[in-house]
Amino acid sequence: MRPVTKADAPARDVARRLASDAPRHALAAICDIVRRTPVLTSRSLSDQCGGTILLKAENLQRTGSFKLRGALVKIAAGAAGGGVVAGSAGNHAQSLAYAARARGIACEVFMPDGASVAKVAAVRGFGGTVHLGGDSVDAAVAQARERAKETGATFVHPFDDPDVIVGQGTLGLELLDHVPDLAMVVVPLGGGGLTGGVAGVVKAARPDVRVVGVQAAACAPFAASIAAGRPLEAGGAATIADGIAVKRPGGLTLPLVDEFVDELCAVSEDDIAAAIMLLLERAKLVVEGGGAVGVAALLTGAVRPASSGSTVVVLSGGNIDSGLLAEITRRHETAVGRRLRLFTRVSDRPGGLAALLACIAQTGANLMTIEHVRDAVPLAVRQTGVDVLLETRGAEHAETIIAGLRDAGYVVERHEPRLDRP
């Protein structure tokens, strides 16, 4: 642990609040709006990873994420009579707009030009005024700060704010109340508001509970920042865990994470995608990339569950873009062999394609798409390339299909799945 500095004094004040009755009072102040989200058992995860694994389904929270807790507590602190303003591209914007409408105050949100159309519509649907401009969330936050100065509205930071952190800490209270044998909490780590708040509350009541923070490897600034003793900006790449893609920790949250979190780890894009699919198929839960990183860490062995007692994984949000979810699903179907994309060559004479299709039909595959490919591939004279997408019964059936085509004399190339965009 790094040496305590004068800059950590505000964080120590937050830590004292987390250890006091403040989170309990905060939960009482927001319980008319915030759902006490369920803690669900997961037999499949427990069987795969060992131990007893539970899921804190915060993806089922109103607005689809934990952010509503902090937004409501900030407003309940009483300094938002003139309205609230924030810069955000997603969950923070939606939650603040929802909270402001519930409490009868105005809300303005600055969002980058590239913000999701669905998320912009959600903010407006919750009664927030949206200003689009700039090419990044950082630019949107800067605009929001200026707007707050102009109007006297309260600027609400998405994570580096004492009231917001205490609000996120109410999730830790629910874990303590609902899981008597709590031994470990695995929390997604972005800016650190959720992780610091939950860890501070849990550790104050149960110092023996282990807390693990999980980042997306594409944007993971905490380890280097803790080592340096100050927030450092990571060279973050695009990630499907956009909800936790925070390049620079907060001045409050960094000391809290350093003090209360026992372990940090990071997971890859492929691992996050696999976790999203497992939660969808096995738990019937739609979880965004940032919310699924804890499950990814368990599945890969980056985090070992507690040998006794319960390990709770926080599913922090469910606001995944429908197009991205569809792409991840298609990629997964290909990876497990239920979708098979093949390239081969046939005679470019009458009957050449029909012979291939007859061979495919004999294998029992379902043809989904077929395309002639005559450009940018090596072909003999009077030959055409054919790209086919097949629906199969699984990996074993896929291998049978490939073997059957090769036995019939076709040279078959299999397209491997990849995630084309974050």
Q: How far is CA 413 from the centre of its chain?
A: 34
The two three-digit tokens of residue 243, written as one number: 């909800």
The two three-digit tokens of residue 288, written as one number: 């965004």
CA angle in degrees (0–180, nearest 5) for 370-371-372: 135
Q: Quote the DSSP letter at residue 4.
A: P
Neighbours of 208 (CB within 10 A): 9
Nearest to 52 by CA among 306, 263, 284: 306
The two three-digit tokens of residue 337, written as one number: 């062999």
Active site residue 203: no
CA distances 216 to 220, 328, 369, 396, Å, are 6, 17, 35, 33
Q: Quote the DSSP letter at residue 8.
A: G
- The SS3 assignment for 416 reads coil
CB neighbour list of residue 385: distance below 8 Å, 6 or more residues apart: 343, 344, 345, 372, 373, 374, 377, 379
CB neighbour list of residue 150: distance below 8 Å, 6 or more residues apart: none
Active site residue 316: yes
SS3 letters for 141-176?
Answer: HHHHHHHHHHHCCEECCCCCCHHHHHHHHHHHHHHH
Helices (H), 20-116: 22-30, 43-49, 67-76, 91-103
Beta pairing class for 339-347 and 383-391: antiparallel
Q: Using CB atoms within 10 A of its CB, is residue 257 exposed (0-12), middle (13-18) or buried (19+)?
A: buried
Distance CA 81, CA 75 (A): 8
Report yes or no: 114 and 147 within 8 Å, Cβ to Cβ: no
From 56, 67, 74, 203, active-site residue: 67
CA distances 421 to 19, 293, 342, Å, are 42, 18, 22
Distance CA 387, CA 390 (A): 10
Q: How far apart are the first and last CA of the chain?
A: 34
Q: Which residues are catalytic?
A: 67, 316
